[in-house]
Structure 1
Amino acid sequence: MSSVSALFTPFTVRGVTLRNRLWVAPMCQYSIDQHDGIPRDWHLVHLGALARGGAGLVIAEATAVSPEGRISAEDTGMWTDEQARAWQRIVTFIHSQGTSAGLQLAHAGRKASVWPAWGTEQAGTRPIGDGGWPTVSASAVPFPGYDSPVALTVDEIAAVVDDFASAARRAVDAGFDVLEIHAAHGYLLHQFLSPLSNLRTDRYGGSLANRARFLLEVIDGIRAVVADTVPLFVRFSATDYAPDGWNEEQTVTVAGWAAEHGADFFDISSGGNVTGVTIPLGPGYQVPLAEFVKTRADVAVSAVGLITTPAQAEEIVASGQADAVLLGRQLLRDPHFPLRAAHELGVSLDYWPPQYLRAQWRD
């Protein structure tokens, strides 16, 4: 007999119903060897395996809205129709497994043009002569150890808003069910939000409303080009973990504004904008941040970070701390974690891959 589980209860956002609350976090793969942003077989197999494993939503990695928005030259992109066609193949397979597909749209700002996280001994900013490019940010303040960026002009900010909107349109045309705006981990939108990286004195700097303006314009730009049925997520780092930096209270306020502009759901992480801070790593260490935003802003949220067991994930959702959990490294270790979690929680699923039915756990 199947048990009642909060984790395996469907969740509906706008026009999309996700089959459970156990979702795949976006995870950079740095696997575009041709440096053209086009996903190929690795991404099909990587993301397809996670869909086959029973997740309710697979969110593909931080995907750049422009060439200069890539973290590394090895990143995926969504600034050309050719990239969109390549993504469509992957989305089709994800859907064939009964899973919804999401895409995280991103611009790395001052953390762009770096060497990839694996495959080289080089680190930090990638020189232009080795395939790198100049970087941009809210202000000409470098991320520690990286080259100094150039502050975006007001016209250039408007162009980036257009890039996000164009990428969103392509993503929906490619079949993605959910879009996520990356405003976390020290990337461009986070750089504008945080007073530690945004020293501007124009309408995009200073007050919280000014620092949030860019993000809200991105939300407006995307909402203008996609159907009302498309869910729009925002990923926030809830805190910089630094004095006078971006923090939980500011996150709550901006999440409320974002919801008023058409964002539906908030993926709560932390850190990434400055170095030299102490992050309180431990099981579920970011769950209290998600709960804080959920309760104070009255919005739907997900929790992420060192969530590794079915019981832990179930408790987070059942207790109301978050509406869903996102898993990253645990799914890399065990792509079939959702199927195993259902068994351990006593839940009978009807979406085991038929090719794998003989491997079901038996009581």
Structure 2
Amino acid sequence: MSYSELFDPIEIGNVTIKNRIAMAPMNPGLAGPNGYHTDTNTAWYATRARGGFGLIITECCVMNPHRWNGSEILNPSMFSDYRYYRYHSEMVQLIHEYNGCKIFMQLSPGWGRQGHPHVESPDCPSGAPSAIPLRVDFRNLNKGWEKQTKRISPALSELVPDFDVFRKMNDEEYAEARELLIKGMMEVSPDTVHLMLGDTPRELTIPEIVDLEDRFAVQANDAYMLGYDGIEVHAPHGYLLHSFLSPRSNQRHDEYGGSLENRARFLLNIIEKTRKKIGPDKAFGVRLSGDDLMPGGITHDEVKKVVEWCTAAGANFFNISQGSYENPGAAFAPDGENDFLRWAPGFKESSGGLPVITPNYIKPETACEALRTGHTDLISLGRQAIADPFWPAKVKEGREKDIVRCVRCQRCYMNLMISHWLECTVNPTAGREKHYPELWINTPSLDKKIDRFKGKAKGLAQI
């Protein structure tokens, strides 16, 4: 079967991407304790560049320098000031050696109510639009999440042998059962409770919001100066910008709350200020959840209006996701294939046809069909890029049978949630790529320069 559509080039702003396959932004938890990029990060991304991805989108890099940025056990990469720049510069230069692979930074103003107080600032809650804590609905834990939750907490299996008992409950039944479950978890597995119940955040002041808007433009501009080809604003999944967009988490009564236009103001100001700073041509887009998928959340119709406003403000591409941490089974880690494409037509229509990136693929035939329909312009691989960094190269060479397929077990996610090292059930090298340079060091032009330099030092005596 021909998959030629996957390997057509595409332009986003002033950037030409060699194919239609992107690595989805994912936080692998490989940054250092203070958020510095490491050799492990560099090897992680270089392996995917070696595997043929035309576009790498980084994990969300947090530009918020304040104590209330919303720390998280995922240990995100930081990009708040010049201390972090050289490590990013090193990585970007290497990624560009892989046959013109492009790399976009996903830039984030913080975790919002999905964050926790920093370990060094336990007195300082995470900043959010309103003081509304995260509450995961247990009915929204799919089979993968159920399996991993029980893996890390065997006592939970005795407490709840089958989560289907929750999935079949109505709201009234669940409200009563939930209190009993939380009480039981506190007794048998207190360490897992923080995964389901967030800390109460602090409502941000208007000067604090404006400060982030201004800082975002500066940090985005600096990322381009370091060689990043594009920037993606991190606004999905219930994080800070999403929590402003959603009436479920934003109950403010000022110019940043209430109407959809007010709830979108933070995001739109970031786009306008950044576009003014970086100029008209650079690749600069937004990742948004197509729908909250929770009662009282932002709807797809509202998201389409936000997409329209983002386009007018200066965004020139969009990356689609869905949901938030409150609905982890349907959000960024669903069980199915191609679940996100349903939002793509709305994004395309509302943006006037701007490039759209759609994630969640395992099968090349499904990914290719998504492009053929015209609903999306690039496909992205998340968990599948963890399972097999060489998916693009294998597809192009007709070696589909050699693809190591993601089994949707959620081990990669759960290990991050419990501060364990990243693991993949089907790829034992995931997160350990720096130990296997033979998998990814294949940069002919750079190697030629290095060999020339080494040749001029060959045979020198020690003096």
- Residues 80-126 of structure 1, C-alpha deviations (whole Å, 9 max, x = no match): 1121111000000000112001100012112223xxxxxxxxxxx66
Match of 2:297 in 1: 245
> What residue identity is the alignment partner of 1:9?
D
CA distance in 2, matches of 1:24, 1:128: 33
Change (3 A) 1:76 1:103: same
Q: Distance in 1 between matches of 2:287 and 2:33?
A: 28
Task: Tell me the amino acid that sits aligned with residue 31 of structure 2.
Answer: I
Separation (CA, whole Å) in 2 of partners of 1:6 and 1:278: 28
CA distance in 2, matches of 1:344, 1:133: 54
Tell me, yes or no, if structure 1 residue 260 matches structure 2 residue 312.
yes
CA-CA distance at 1:3 after TM superposition: 5.7
Measure the CA separation in 1 of the matches of 2:218 and 2:70: 16
Task: Look up the match of 1:96.
Answer: 97
Q: 1:105 to 1:139 in 2, by over 3 A?
A: same
> CA separation in 1, counterparts of 2:280 and 2:13?
8
What is the CA–CA distance in structure 2 between the aligned matches of 1:342 and 1:161, rounded to whole Å? Answer: 42
Aligned match of 1:290: 344
Q: Deviations over 1:189-219 (max 9, x none)?
A: 0000000000011111111111111100010
| Residues 9 and 19, structure 1, Cα contact 8 Å, conserved in 2 | yes
Q: How does 1:32-71 map to 2 (within 5 A)?
A: 32-35=31-34, 37-67=35-65, 68-69=68-69, 71=71
Corresponding residue for residue 18 of structure 1: 17
Counterpart position of 1:301: 356
Q: Give 1:340's aligned residue.
A: 394
Distance change (3 Å), C-alpha of 1:276 and 1:41:
closer
Distance (whole Å) between structure 2 residues aligned to residue 24 and residue 278 of structure 1: 20
Q: Secondary structure at the match of 2:278?
A: coil
Aligned residue number for residue 72 of structure 1: 72
Residue 361 of structure 1 aligns with which residue? none
Q: Distance in 2 between matches of 1:170 and 1:103?
A: 11
Counterparts of residues 169-184 of structure 1 (less than 5 Å): 169-184=221-236
Q: 1:141 aligns with which of 126, 132, 139?
A: 132
- Contact 1:190 1:273 (8 Å CA) reproduced: no
Distance 2:31 2:72 in 1: 9
Greater Rg, structure 1 or structure 2? 2
Shift of residue 286, structure 1, vs aligned partner: 1.1
Q: 1:318 to 1:353 in 2, by over 3 A?
A: farther
Q: Give the TM-score taking structure 2 as reference length.
A: 0.68
Instruction: State the TM-score, normalizing by the size of structure 1.
Output: 0.86
Distance 1:17 1:170, change over 3 A: same
Secondary structure of residue in 2 paired with 1:33: coil
1:70 Cα shift?
5.4
Quick one: structure 1 residues 278 and 169, their matched pair in 2 at CA, closer, same or farther if it must change by over 3 Å? Answer: closer
Where in structure 2 are the equivalents of 1:345-356 lying within 5 Å? none
Number of residue pairs the alignment of both structures matches: 335
The correspondence of residues 305-344 of structure 1 with structure 2, limited to 5 A, is 305=360, 307-344=361-398
Matched, 1:230 2:278: no
Report what 2:157 is aligned to: none
Q: What is the Cα deviation at residue 243 of structure 1?
A: 2.8
Match of residue 237, structure 2, among 161, 173, 185: 185
What does residue 163 of structure 1 align with? 215
Q: Residue 103 of structure 1: SS of its match in structure 2?
A: strand
Q: CA RMSD in A?
A: 2.4
Aligned to 1:218: 270
The code of the aligned residue for 2:236 comes to: A
Give the Å deviation of 1:133.
4.6
Closer/same/farther in 2, CA of residues 316 and 71 from structure 1, 3 Å limit? farther
Select between 290-299 and 93-102 the one with higher mean Cα deviation: 290-299
Give, in whole Å, the separation in 2 of the partners of 1:213 and 1:337: 39
**1:110 correspondence with 2:113:** yes
Segment drifting more, 63-72 vs 254-263: 63-72
SS at match of 1:286: helix
- The answer (yes or no) to whether the contact 1:23–1:58 under 8 Å persists in 2 is yes
Within 1, Cα distance between the matches of 2:330 and 2:5?
A: 33
Q: Cα distance, 1:169 vs. partner? A: 1.6
Q: SS of 2:248's equivalent?
A: coil
Between Structure 1 and Structure 2, the one with more helix by share is 2
Q: Structure 1, residues 241-290: CA drift from partner, whole Å, max 9, x if none?
A: 12331111111111011001100111010011534986674211111112
Which amino acid is 1:138 matched to?
A: P
Separation in 1 of the partners of 2:70 and 2:205? 19
Structure 1 residues 132 and 168: CA distance shift in structure 2, 3 A? farther
Partners of 2:22 and 2:327 in 1: CA distance:
29
Q: Distance in 2 between matches of 1:277 and 1:17?
A: 35
3-state DSSP of counterpart to 1:147 = coil
Does the Cα contact within 8 Å between 2:70 and 2:127 map onto a contact in 1?
no
Q: 2:28 maps to which residue?
A: 29
The 8 Å contact of residues 133 and 200 in structure 2, kept in 1 or not, is answered as: yes
Equivalent AA in structure 1 for residue 23 of structure 2:
V
> Residues 278, 268 of structure 1: CA spacing in aligned structure 2 closer, same or farther, 3 A cutoff?
closer
- CA distance change for structure 1 residues 337 and 247 in 2, over 3 Å: closer, same or farther? same
Q: CA deviation at 1:31?
A: 2.2
- Separation (CA, whole Å) in 1 of partners of 2:123 and 2:327: 23
Q: Answer whether contact 1:94 1:101 (CA < 8 A) is retained.
A: yes
Q: Residue 238 of structure 2: SS of its match in structure 1? A: coil
Match for residue 204 of structure 1 among 256, 268, 273? 256
Cα distance, 1:354 vs structure 2: 7.3
Q: Residue 7 of structure 2: SS of its match in structure 1?
A: coil
Aligned partner letter, 2:94: F
SS across alignment from 1:225: helix
Structure 2 SS opposite 1:48: helix
Alpha-carbon distance, 1:292 to partner:
2.8
